[in-house]
Amino acid sequence: MSFATRDGRGWMPDYLVSIDSGKCIGCGRCFKVCGRHVMILKGINEEGDLVELDSDEDDEIEKKVMVMNDEGACIGCGACARVCPANCQTHAPAVAEGA
Ligand code: SF4
Ligand code: SF4
């Protein structure tokens, strides 16, 4: 599989594959620049469990972190990597078919 821009120039997508929750500061910058709903902001409670931010457990949230929501929707634009201040994202280039 080859990838191209609108006018046919070669383009190598760089997909978001994971976010290090230990480094993420939950700033939300990556969420704002992504148009594909690949990530979602969640809370970590006192027990270290991930919880929804709109749940009744809001009082117990110790920290907010960005987590993967729909990784298959990523188009590999790299916008999220450019705005992350914590260097906590891992990206991987697209793999050509048969490689
Ligand atoms: S690389 Fe682009 S599409 Fe993929 S998660 Fe980051 S901002 Fe969203
Ligand atoms: S930009 Fe980086 S630090 Fe901020 S929420 Fe996204 S992954 Fe976490």
pLDDT in tens, 17-61: 999 999 999 999 999 999 999 999 999 999 999 999 986 666 789
Task: Give residue 28's region: left, alpha or beta (phi > 0; psi -120 to 50).
Answer: left
- Confirm or reject: Cβ of 68 under 6 Å from ligand 2: no
pLDDT in tens, 61-76: 999 999 999 999 999 9
The continuous run of DSSP H or E covering 30 comes out as: helix 29-33
Q: How far apart are CA 68 and CA 74, in angstroms?
A: 10
Mutate to test the pocket of ligand 2, among 19, 21, 63 (most ligand atoms within 8 A of CB): 19
Give the pLDDT of residue 31: 98
pLDDT of 96 > 70? The answer is no
Amino acid at 78: G
pLDDT in tens, 24-35: 999 999 999 999
